[in-house]
Amino acid sequence: MATCADFSSIRQFADWRQTIDRLEGAYAESTLRAYRADFACFYDWCVATSREPLPASPETVAAFIDQDAVKSSPATLRRRLAGIRKVHRLLRLQSPVDDEDVAIAMRRALRTKPRRQKQALGLTRALRDQFIAACPDTRQGKRDRALIAVGYDTLCRRSELVSLRREDLSPLENGAMSILVRRAKNDPFGDGRFGFITPRTARLLIDWLDAAKIEQGFLFRRITEHWIGPNALHPYSVNRILKEAAKKAGLAPKLVADLSGHSMRVGAAQDLMADGLGILPIMQAGGWKSMNVIGRYVEHAEITKAGQLRNRF
């Protein structure tokens, strides 16, 4: 077994974590966590197999991909390569990732795995209403009802949803509202977009904000028995809230397991497609940049709609 002292490059570049710290403020925190975790995985594997991690050779990276492919998904493998490439570039080293040997290893790995990613269960209109009805009439229940309704209306990602703020709400006609979604995963410079909140959702939201006495700051916060915190919920809390509401609504365990923080976004997009809205307006409503991603979300609604049309004849 090799040790760090066995490699001059390990001694020279042992501060690669501090090198990633240079990216603070320029990238999302989730991206920085991924860079650190993925390169650490590669680094530890190199040490364990007596290989040079920095600078790494294309042969080393290709061997790592061959082994990591046994347990990792295609998306994880691509993320690993992104981390290896970024650390090499930050250290002004030639990246081994773009070499043909690495491309061949990735192609070999992808051919052994299904390319299609598992999609979260869509929280469509009917499920949304079941979940909202299942939330108790407590402060936590009011928060959870509002969170589910706002998440569905605005098609927010979970990180966007927990970052929404009261001062960004604007009243519209007939009791509806708009809200500024300040920053998104694919909007690193904060151009923002506006989300629409229906009158029904606006009533649920105001009911929660009044009960929590929130006049400014984050809409959705942690609650204890006697206290409501000032900070936003963690994005992972959205998953937990959805799953708890699903259990209260009596959903089967398999369906509960298939829920995620993306479920409201997926379900709302599916409903908009079923209602006859085109791809481009749906992309605008949810802040999507790629037609491939939104196409995968709404394909079930498209297939169902096509089947209904065929049944007319």
Q: What DSSP assignment string belongs to 262-313?
A: THHHHHHHHHHHHTT--HHHHHHHHT---HHHHHHHHHHHHHHHHHHHHHT-
For each of the chain's 313 residues, which pLDDT tens digit applies?
444 444 444 555 567 888 898 998 888 888 899 999 999 999 999 999 999 999 999 999 999 999 999 999 888 999 999 999 999 999 999 999 999 999 999 999 988 866 555 667 889 999 999 999 999 999 999 999 999 999 999 999 898 999 999 999 999 999 999 999 987 665 555 567 899 999 999 999 999 999 999 999 999 999 987 789 899 999 999 999 999 999 999 999 999 999 988 899 889 988 988 888 777 888 878 777 766 666 666 665 554 444 343 344 4
Confidence (pLDDT) at 2 = 41
Is the CB of residue 162 less than 8 Å from the CB of residue 175? no
* Collapsed DSSP state (helix, strand, coil) of residue 117: coil
Name the CATH superfamily, with its identifier, for domain 4-111: Tyrosine recombinase, N-terminal domain (1.10.150.130)
Residue 195 has φ and ψ, to the nearest 5°, of -105, 145
Is the CB of residue 91 less than 8 Å from the CB of residue 62? no
Confidence (pLDDT) at 30 = 83
Confidence (pLDDT) at 4 = 42
Kindly tell me the sign of the dihedral angle through the C-alpha atoms of 208, 214, 216, 219: negative
Is the CB of residue 127 less than 8 Å from the CB of residue 133? no
Architecture of domain 125-311: Orthogonal Bundle (1.10)
Instruction: Give residue limits of the domains in the chain.
Output: 4-111, 125-311
How large is the C-alpha radius of gyration of the chain?
A: 23
Confidence (pLDDT) at 14 = 60
Is the CB of residue 242 less than 8 Å from the CB of residue 130? no
Rounded distance, CA 95 to CA 2, Å?
23
Rounded distance, CA 60 to CA 94, Å?
14
Q: What residues contact 299, with CB distance under 8 A and at least 6 apart? A: none
State the amino acid at position 60 in one-letter form. Answer: T
CA triple 146-150-153, angle to 5 deg: 145
Rounded distance, CA 50 to CA 44, Å?
10
